[in-house]
Amino acid sequence: MIGENVPPAMCYYTKLEGSGGKCRTCLVKVTKGSEKDPRPMPKLVASCKTAVMDGMEVRNTTSPDVLDARKGITEFLLINHPLDCPVCDQAGECKLQDLSYEHGLSKSRYDFHRREFEKIDIGDKIQLHMNRCILCYRCTQVADQLTPERVHGVINRGEVSEISTYIENVVDNDFSGNMIDVCPVGALTDKTFRFKSRVWYTKPVNAHRNCPKCSGKVTLWYQGEEVLRVTGRKDQWNEVEEFICNDCRFEKKETNDWIVDGPADINRHSVVSKNQFTYELPVLQKQIEQSNMTEQ
Amino acid sequence: MQSLTNRSKVVSDKTMTWKERMYIPAILAGLRITIYHFFKKKVTIQYPEQKREHSKYFRGVHVLKRDDEGRENCTACGLCAVACPAEAITIVADERKKGEEHLYREEKYSAEYNINMLRCIFCGLCEEACPKDAIYLTETISTSNYHRDQFIYTKDMLVEGIKSGERIDINSRRQGVREGAM
């Protein structure tokens, strides 16, 4: 039962404390409150912020109310989204793209001017496209909880709120790169991967190294023999298993820096697995040969 | 065995008569058919000089369109390449620099756009996949060549000219693609 019945979430992240409750995409209908109090909950509730009770009955996709609400919320999330997927580097692994594909309308009904911001460089490795942001606050929670001092946050309120370092300070602590991984949309992207390729032309390979700062367990994204991008390993909910440091993410882009574990597990319905350009994995082959050599 | 149709002829190996062995009636009958064809309407045309009208659904060599201001529509999103069943398309993207706004419509553009015409099956899935109205199949026929590498059409062979006279009209095709008829 677990799996396809888990509601989509844009803001909730199990590894970040206090996340959730903002995007409202995970609304579900509670038809029975609990064993003691079997009354249904009067309104749809955000499943990420609702405590589970004994005997609680929850309807997710089986309830037309939920599907209808989710459709409306998707439309609201997309109101100010520029829909520049052909340009965006996140396309193919973007949760907002998945959400709008499953729950959205094929056309936008919004005719007015979408809000526009300038691109901001957060340091020389991370780029912030505020246009694409859906204000899930995950990245600020990464800054709060993973790094010693908070250097960026959300300024202004309501419709005009935006993620910012305020006076374009450089975010340069060791774990700042993780905000790229937690961003569900293409608002925070890796500048070293900018426009290099599309996600579905690269091959994800799990690898590790002995890193003094982090666990060193990453996914390398190969095109041919070239490592185009390094990200944290993501589970089936698109959440990173372990946060990785900036050294691993931005500096180590040679196969020699890594010990390859094997191809990353990608859902076969994902566009990443649609990669028709089947490259061999010379990397793996070489390492196997090398290990054979050392054994002899 | 009974034949299924009455069009089949039973072959016999009976010896020919003297008259038949003269072959003259047979030759005359054959010549009659030949001469009859001199006065019939010709089925062939003189190709390079004369050209047949193409069907509405004809799919020839691709064109990469520019918009009304002469900027390239293609943003190198890679959807044509992933839609291509023959894996004929390869794209390398690049970022638009300051001062190139008149050349490329969006901040990303295709620095290289190659179509291998030997691989291409002219199915038209690329133009269906294109979200930017950038690629269309034209009525031009892919030319023959002596070398295989000349069949890899690079971007300068695919992008239409910037002047108004060099533009390629694809309006009827665009309408057909949108309606899903092509």
The tens digit of pLDDT for each residue in B93-104 reads 999 988 888 999
| DSSP H or E stretch at residue A103 | helix A95-103
| Total beta-carbon pairs less than 8 A apart between chain A and chain B | 39
Q: Does A276 touch chain B (CB under 8 A)?
A: yes
Same domain, A278 and A229: yes
A135 pLDDT above the threshold of 90: no
CA distances in angstroms from A87 to A132, A251, B94, listed in the order given: 12, 25, 10
Query: Which of A193, A214, A241 is the last residue in one of the domains?
Result: A193
Could you list the residue range(s) of the whole structural domain that residue A278 is in?
Answer: 199-295
The tokens describing A165, both together, are 């370092």
Task: Specify the pTM.
Answer: 0.79
| Least confident piece of the model among A91-100, A236-245, A284-293 | A284-293
The pLDDT value given to residue A172: 67
| Least confident piece of the model among A97-101, A121-125, A152-156, A232-236 | A152-156
The tens digit of pLDDT for each residue in A25-81 reads 999 999 999 999 999 999 999 999 999 999 999 998 889 999 999 999 999 999 989
Same domain, A36 and A71: yes
Task: Tell me how far apart the alpha carbons of residues B22 and B51 are, in angstroms, rounded to a whole number.
Answer: 46
**Measured between alpha carbons, how far apart are the two ends of chain A, in Å?**
49
Same domain, A132 and A95: no
Do the domain assignments include residue A7?
Answer: no
Contact B107 A87 (CB under 8 A): yes
Contacts of B77 in chain A (CB under 8 A): 85-87, 91, 198
Three-state DSSP at B49 gives: coil
CB B106 within 8 A of CB B75: yes
Same domain, A281 and A262: yes
Tell me the average pLDDT across A90-118: 87
Do the domain assignments include residue A70?
Answer: yes
Same domain, A203 and A291: yes
Same domain, A206 and A187: no
Do the domain assignments include residue A40?
Answer: yes
Same domain, A134 and A174: yes
Do the domain assignments include residue A111?
Answer: no
Closest CA to A221 of A211, A210, A207: A207
Same domain, A210 and A265: yes
Give the nearest chain B residue to A275 (CA atoms): B82
Closest CA to A243 of A258, A232, A230: A232
Do the domain assignments include residue A113?
Answer: no
Task: Tell me how far apart the alpha carbons of residues B153 and B113 are, in angstroms, rounded to a whole number.
Answer: 8
Task: Tell me how far apart the alpha carbons of residues A215 and A249 are, in angstroms, rounded to a whole number.
Answer: 12
**Domains, chain B, with CATH or none:** 62-179 (3.30.70.3270)
- Residues 61-120 (A) with a CB less than 8 A from some CB of B: 84-87, 91
A164 pLDDT above the threshold of 80: no
Tell me the average pLDDT across A93-114: 87
B47-74 b/e with 16+ CB inside 10 Å = b?
A: eeeeeeeeeeeebebbbbbbeeeebbbb
CATH number at residue A149: 3.30.70.20
Do the domain assignments include residue A19?
Answer: no
The tens digit of pLDDT for each residue in B8-22 reads 888 888 888 888 888
Contact A84 B106 (CB under 8 A): yes
Contacts of A196 in chain B (CB under 8 A): 93
Q: How confident is the model at residue A284 (pLDDT cuts 50, 70, 90)?
A: low
The tens digit of pLDDT for each residue in A198-245 reads 888 888 899 999 998 888 899 999 888 889 999 999 988 888 999 999
Residue whose entry in the numeric block shows the structure tokens 């193919």? A92
| Least confident piece of the model among A139-143, A186-190, B47-51, B85-89 | A139-143
Residue whose entry in the numeric block shows the structure tokens 């793209």? A97
Task: Tell me how far apart the alpha carbons of residues A143 and A138 are, in angstroms, rounded to a whole number.
Answer: 9
The pLDDT value given to residue A140: 82
The pLDDT value given to residue B176: 81
The pLDDT value given to residue A295: 59
The pLDDT value given to residue A103: 87
Report ipTM (2 d.p.): 0.76
| Chain B nearest CA to A221, separation (Å) | 17
Three-state DSSP at A36 gives: coil
Task: Tell me how far apart the alpha carbons of residues A291 and A288 are, in angstroms, rounded to a whole number.
Answer: 5
CB B83 within 8 A of CB B130: no
Contact A86 B94 (CB under 8 A): no
Tell me the average pLDDT across A163-185: 76
Do the domain assignments include residue A232?
Answer: yes
Task: Tell me how far apart the alpha carbons of residues A198 and A195 are, in angstroms, rounded to a whole number.
Answer: 7
| Candidates A87, A271, A274; nearest CB to B75 | A87
Same domain, A126 and A75: no
Contacts of A86 in chain B (CB under 8 A): 75, 77, 79, 106, 108, 131-132
A168-200 b/e with 16+ CB inside 10 Å = b?
A: eeebebbbbbbbbbbbbbbbbbbbbbebbbbbb
Cβ atoms within 10 Å, residue A262: 10
Task: Tell me how far apart the alpha carbons of residues B168 and B127 are, in angstroms, rounded to a whole number.
Answer: 15
Query: Which of A193, A212, A239 is the last residue in one of the domains?
Result: A193
- Please provide the average confidence, as pLDDT, over all residues in chain B: 89
| Least confident piece of the model among A119-128, B15-24, B62-71 | A119-128
Closest CA to A196 of A233, A232, A226: A226
Q: How many secondary structure helices (H) and strands (E) does chain B include?
A: 6, 5
Closest CA to B115 of B142, B77, B147, B144: B142
The pLDDT value given to residue A163: 74
A283 pLDDT above the threshold of 70: no
Q: Does A274 touch chain B (CB under 8 A)?
A: yes
- Spell out the residues 6+ positions from residue B43 whose beta carbon is closer than 8 angstroms to its own: none
A184 pLDDT above the threshold of 70: yes
Q: Which residue has the higher pLDDT, B51 or B27?
A: B27
CA distances in angstroms from B134 to A201, A211, A248, B76, listed in the order given: 20, 46, 38, 10
- Please provide the average confidence, as pLDDT, over all residues in chain A: 84
The pLDDT value given to residue A72: 92
Beta-bridged to residue A235, according to DSSP, are none
Same domain, A160 and A246: no
Task: Tell me how far apart the alpha carbons of residues A156 and A117 are, in angstroms, rounded to a whole number.
Answer: 14
| Chain B nearest CA to A36, separation (Å) | 54
CB A34 within 8 A of CB A79: no
Same domain, A179 and A216: no
Q: Which residue has the higher pLDDT, A162 or B163?
A: B163
Query: Which of A172, A193, A214 is the last residue in one of the domains?
Result: A193
The pLDDT value given to residue A203: 87
| Least confident piece of the model among A119-133, A154-168, B58-72, B106-120 | A154-168
Q: How confident is the model at residue A166 (pLDDT cuts 50, 70, 90)?
A: low
Same domain, A270 and A223: yes
Tell me the average pLDDT across A250-257: 90
| DSSP H or E stretch at residue B116 | strand B108-116
Length of chain B: 182
The tokens describing A267, both together, are 């859902």
A278 pLDDT above the threshold of 80: no
Do the domain assignments include residue A16?
Answer: no
Total of domains in chain A: 3
CA A119 from chain center: how many Å?
A: 20
The pLDDT value given to residue A1: 42
Contact B77 A87 (CB under 8 A): yes
CATH number at residue A56: 3.10.20.740
